[in-house]
Chains A and B, each alone.
Chain A
Amino acid sequence: MVEKNVLEITDFNVDFWVDGVWYPAVIDMNLGLAAGKVTAIVGESGSGKSTTALGLMSLLASNARMQGSVVVKGEEMLNAKSSRLREFRGKEVAYIFQEPMTALNPLFTIGYQIVETLRNHFEMGPKEAHARALELITMVDIPNPEQSILKYPHQLSGGQRQRAMIAQALACDPALLVADEPTTALDVTVQAEILDLMRGLKDKLNSAILLITHDMGVVADMADEILVMKDGITVEKGTADQIFNKPQHPYTQQLLGSVPKLGSSKKRELPYKESAKPAPVLKLTDVTIEYPKRGRQPAFTAVKNFSLEIYPGEIVGLVGESGSGKTTVGRASIGLLPVKAGSIEIVGKEIAGADSKQLSAIRRHTGIVFQDPASSLNPRLPIGESIGEPLFLAGLAKGAELAHKVEELLDQVELPRSYRNRYPHELSGGQRQRVGIARALALTPDLLIADEPTSALDVSVQARFLELLQELQGKLNFACLFISHDLAVVDILSHRIAVMQNGLLVEVGDRDQILKNPQNDYTKRLISAVPVPDPKEQKIRREARLALKK
């Protein structure tokens, strides 16, 4: 080796002490990282990748035990004196965390927080530090640096906050940047910009980056070397090319196989003829939805003049970034939000302005799957009761018959029948979402609304979930409005795609037309920002996107 590595991890182990037993979280990890290079640690939740990141600089809780060796710039970090560790933290090893809203102190301006880092590590006067902070803020492209430096985190957008976080991390020109899911909380277009920024700064400052992520697209975009983790064990390690093109370990193969890839699914026929459309299951005409004024917050129009029709047997993907109003459309379509103007018809019945009795009659034709598996099931009810509730309330089944129906539904979503007596906290996220589907399908609806059902799931779980959903749709032939921020997922499922931005429908059309030949500028930007889990192709896409930007 010619150049000495910035980071050298050997036989690194982390265990947590819980209830009298050591639980291993990271097992025998080895890793070397040179200046100017990016190594990505990839894995699903619970694989120990974040634990590794925090363990490097002993930032874990007091019940963690670390063994092995972590050498940064030739100095051992495990068991180093805490004063020495503090000198390295922030100066040699800087962190970028996932959620910039909570990772920045809400009571201090971003300028202050950057100045604080600087003055902690350098002999520097307040004026000098302020000037340097301004320089950093300019470097990470936050608009109006002079004003922004005086702003509090809550006054910035998500992307700007993450830029401020990066500015803070880069303040002392660290040799190693640890980025723990730096773009997970951000929209794809913002993510693309942040990744561009990080790539540019890395080249400029010659820092090494340890990237922790679950997103294979981000990995393909950034990483030189990749380390795949599962349950604390490093299952495979290699260059980006090796991992993506010649994966050896079955888990890596399975992981790559589960990642949905934009533009790779087969051509799909609409379930009806364009010329002879059947009556739509869901018909939204010029719908406007407003969140009323709350206290000092003014009224906010979330969706404006939105029109969309969904026909029997088709899946329509509704795509947009956060705040685009896609979830609002979904909730209004099932009568959970009042409509300010326009009309919503389900199987020909108007729900805008329907009274509660009519509404519950109409709702028998619908089902909804929610986003968050943690809150979508009542923690105090057994699964069976949650699933059976629509049947029970509709008066369709009772007692033994109901129990039987619930078992059938569990069979449908491929969960063991014994699960009907379990409580939600005993199930994994993927299992809970299956329960969510079972509940939504209890009344064999004509329309299923799926509101980001996979956004909280790991890719492999997501893949199984999507398969199941497709299977069920094929079998039961319901229409589905699938809401998602992830174009690749929508690509797998849907017949047609609708794109929303800032409460407006910007484009709607056949899936292939939208993905391959988008007309609207925003759609084009959105599609080009999605990272593809293939380093070569992603490089081409990135250059194309940068060209488009210029």
Chain B
Amino acid sequence: MKLFGRKEKATGEILAGGENAIANKEVEGLSQGQIVRRRFFRHRAAVIALVALSSIILFVLTSLDTKIGPIRIPGWWKWTVEDIPELRFEDCPGGTTGCPTLSLNPTGDFGMGNHPFGQDDIGRDYFALVMNGARRSLMIMFVIGAVSGFIGVVVGSISGFYGKRVDAVLMRLVDFIQTVPTIIIAAVIGKAAGRVGPFFLALFLGILGWTGLARLVRAQFLSLREMEFVDAARVAGASNIRIAFKHILPNAVGQIIVSVTLIMAGAILTETALSYLGFGVVAPDVSLGLLISQYESSFTTRPWLFWWPGFFIISIALCVNFIGDGLRDAFDPRQRRRITKKDRLQAKLQIKAGE
């Protein structure tokens, strides 16, 4: 229910002078969303990470063919995972084969070349393989984030909102799931998932990964439930559902988003680790962890087979982590403008100038 149109620019006076003015200057005339956005964009690393992650996703999604049911959207990259082009022999160091053609030398043969990331031992284009693996990993990451996020929010809200017996039962369930060693159960399922495919693996990892979020949402609900505006809504005649969705959840959403990002960053590492152990995505399917596991032994002779999948895992995880950090800063109500060294230096210069 949005009763009234967008808010107008504030015209009223700021609270006069003193400490209040300092506290309010930042947020004057902005809605909550605008404040969050502004704070996020002040976090330089997070913005860079956001740009980088978007580019990676775009790159990964468009480079290969995408099949949605019967529709097939062609990608811009020339090779696919199934193609087995001839192995490149020329110009490779130490008599190896299939070395990368990517060149960043602006005066020489700058560009991606035929096989920018090289070729694997039978000649498959490694760029196509890595892109395919990254696509799997991203998909798994988002599915885990969505599933864990959904279950965590639902269980946490119910637990925190109703409290008492419902809370006790649900929290024992959380304890219970936390006691089951994730790595073992995931490996058992992963081993079986070799038969059912990566989507179900992701689904299952999501089902295991929500406990931390549920605790967090519960804690948020417990503290927000005691807020006076919730009582006010209750007196105004709001139903439980309305109180939960209209009054409490929007105030907890910041923490939830942050937590889900961190779950996602962890998810990509879990998936790759499982695939590395052979319990995640299994051949002939491709995943970044699996690629590293397959070519681990050829590290000394053909290191690109090891570097590129690693680079993508780290880049994706790093970006998600930094975005999470930016969001945390943006949503943190205690967040004030940081006083950085630069600020202090400027201040000092001003003092000197004033003297």
Chain A contacts to B: CB under 8 angstroms = 16-20, 22-23, 25, 45-48, 51, 61-63, 65, 231-232, 331, 334, 336, 360, 363-364, 366-368, 370-372, 375-382, 384-386, 388-390, 392-394, 402-403, 406, 416, 418-423, 425-426, 428, 436, 439, 442
Extra contacts besides A426-B29, A428-B20 (12): CB < 8 Å: A22-B350, A47-B18, A48-B19, A51-B19, A63-B343, A334-B235, A370-B228, A376-B228, A377-B232, A382-B4, A421-B6, A425-B24
Give Cα A156–Cα B238 distance, bound, in whole angstroms.
40
Q: Which residue of A has the minimal Cβ distance to B35?
A: A425
- Residues on the B chain within 8 Å of A390, using CB: 235-237
With A19-B26, A402-B3, A426-B10 as given contacts, are A375 and B229 in contact (CB-CB < 8 Å)?
yes
- A336 near B234 with CB under 8 A, answer yes
- B28 near A426 with CB under 8 A, answer yes
Contact string against A for B residues 332-355, beta-carbon threshold 8 Å, 1 for contact and 0 otherwise: 000001010001101100110000
- A63 near B344 with CB under 8 A, answer yes
With A336-B234, A360-B237 as given contacts, are A384 and B3 in contact (CB-CB < 8 Å)?
yes
- B237 near A25 with CB under 8 A, answer no
- Residues on the B chain within 8 Å of A428, using CB: 15, 20
B231 on interface, CB distance cutoff 8 Å? yes
Q: Which residue of A has the minimal Cβ distance to B21?
A: A23
- A380 near B250 with CB under 8 A, answer yes
Question: Which B residues, 15 to 53, have Cβ-Cβ distances below 8 Å to chain A?
Answer: 15-22, 24-29, 31-32
- Residues on the B chain within 8 Å of A61, using CB: 339
A367 to chain B, nearest CB (A): 7
Question: Which B residues, 230 to 275, have Cβ-Cβ distances below 8 Å to chain A?
Answer: 231-238, 242, 246-247, 250-251
- A370 near B32 with CB under 8 A, answer no
- A372 near B228 with CB under 8 A, answer yes
B36 to chain A, nearest CB (A): 11
Give Cα A381–Cα B229 distance, bound, in whole angstroms.
11
- Residues on the B chain within 8 Å of A392, using CB: 1, 3
- Residues on the B chain within 8 Å of A423, using CB: 7, 31-32
B11 on interface, CB distance cutoff 8 Å? yes
- A418 near B339 with CB under 8 A, answer no
Give Cα A163–Cα B8 distance, bound, in whole angstroms.
51
B227 on interface, CB distance cutoff 8 Å? yes
Give Cα A281–Cα B209 distance, bound, in whole angstroms.
53
B12 on interface, CB distance cutoff 8 Å? yes
- B4 near A403 with CB under 8 A, answer yes
With A46-B18, A392-B1, A418-B8 as given contacts, are A336 and B235 in contact (CB-CB < 8 Å)?
yes
B210 to chain A, nearest CB (A): 24
Closest 4 CB pairs of A and B: A231-B17, A46-B18, A390-B236, A370-B228
With A331-B231, A377-B229, A389-B238 as given contacts, are A23 and B22 in contact (CB-CB < 8 Å)?
yes
- B229 near A376 with CB under 8 A, answer yes
Q: Which residue of B has the minimal Cβ distance to A62?
A: B339
A138 to chain B, nearest CB (A): 39
- Residues on the A chain within 8 Å of B11, using CB: 418
Highest count of chain A CB atoms <10 Å: which of B229, B231, B242:
B229
- B10 near A336 with CB under 8 A, answer no
- A18 near B347 with CB under 8 A, answer no
Give Cα A541–Cα B22 distance, bound, in whole angstroms.
41
Q: Which residue of A has the minimal Cβ distance to B253?
A: A380
- A46 near B12 with CB under 8 A, answer no
Give Cα A231–Cα B21 distance, bound, in whole angstroms.
10
A426 to chain B, nearest CB (A): 6
B2 to chain A, nearest CB (A): 8
A204 to chain B, nearest CB (A): 36
Give Cα A61–Cα B10 distance, bound, in whole angstroms.
31
User: Out of B2, B20, B28, B231, which one reaches A45, CB within 8 Å?
Assistant: B20
Give Cα A384–Cα B236 distance, bound, in whole angstroms.
14
A438 to chain B, nearest CB (A): 12
Give Cα A384–Cα B1 distance, bound, in whole angstroms.
12
- A46 near B4 with CB under 8 A, answer no
- A403 near B3 with CB under 8 A, answer yes
User: Out of B1, B3, B8, B25, which one reaches A19, CB within 8 Å?
Assistant: B25
Question: Which B residues, 304 to 355, have Cβ-Cβ distances below 8 Å to chain A?
Answer: 337, 339, 343-344, 346-347, 350-351
- A376 near B16 with CB under 8 A, answer no
Q: Which residue of A has the minimal Cβ distance to B347?
A: A17
- A46 near B19 with CB under 8 A, answer yes
Give Cα A421–Cα B250 distance, bound, in whole angstroms.
18
- Residues on the B chain within 8 Å of A331, using CB: 231
Q: Which residue of B has the minimal Cβ distance to A391?
A: B236
User: Out of B16, B20, B347, which one reaches A65, CB within 8 Å?
Assistant: B347
Give Cα A439–Cα B337 distance, bound, in whole angstroms.
33
- A25 near B18 with CB under 8 A, answer yes
A423 to chain B, nearest CB (A): 6
User: Out of B10, B19, B231, B242, which one reaches A370, CB within 8 Å?
Assistant: B231
A228 to chain B, nearest CB (A): 14
Q: Which residue of B has the minimal Cβ distance to A443?
A: B236
- Residues on the A chain within 8 Å of B12, using CB: 416, 418-419
- Residues on the A chain within 8 Å of B10, using CB: 422, 426
- Residues on the B chain within 8 Å of A402, using CB: 3
Give Cα A389–Cα B235 distance, bound, in whole angstroms.
10
B247 to chain A, nearest CB (A): 5
- B251 near A62 with CB under 8 A, answer no
With A364-B237, A370-B232 as given contacts, are A382 and B7 in contact (CB-CB < 8 Å)?
yes
- A336 near B343 with CB under 8 A, answer no
Give Cα A25–Cα B251 distance, bound, in whole angstroms.
32
Contact string against A for B residues 144-183, beta-carbon threshold 8 Å, 1 for contact and 0 otherwise: 0000000000000000000000000000000000000000
- Residues on the B chain within 8 Å of A45, using CB: 19-20
- A18 near B237 with CB under 8 A, answer no
- Residues on the A chain within 8 Å of B21, using CB: 23, 46
- Residues on the B chain within 8 Å of A382, using CB: 3-4, 7
- B235 near A393 with CB under 8 A, answer no
- A231 near B29 with CB under 8 A, answer no
- Residues on the A chain within 8 Å of B232, using CB: 368, 370, 376-377, 386, 436, 439
- A366 near B235 with CB under 8 A, answer yes
With A17-B343, A19-B337, A366-B235 as given contacts, are A371 and B228 in contact (CB-CB < 8 Å)?
yes
User: Out of A231, A363, A386, A420, which one reaches B237, CB within 8 Å?
Assistant: A363
- Residues on the A chain within 8 Å of B22, using CB: 16, 18, 23
- B16 near A231 with CB under 8 A, answer yes
User: Out of B25, B228, B350, which one reaches A375, CB within 8 Å?
Assistant: B228
B312 to chain A, nearest CB (A): 37
Give Cα A47–Cα B17 distance, bound, in whole angstroms.
8
Q: Which residue of B has the minimal Cβ distance to A393?
A: B237
B282 to chain A, nearest CB (A): 46
Give Cα A403–Cα B5 distance, bound, in whole angstroms.
11
- B18 near A232 with CB under 8 A, answer yes
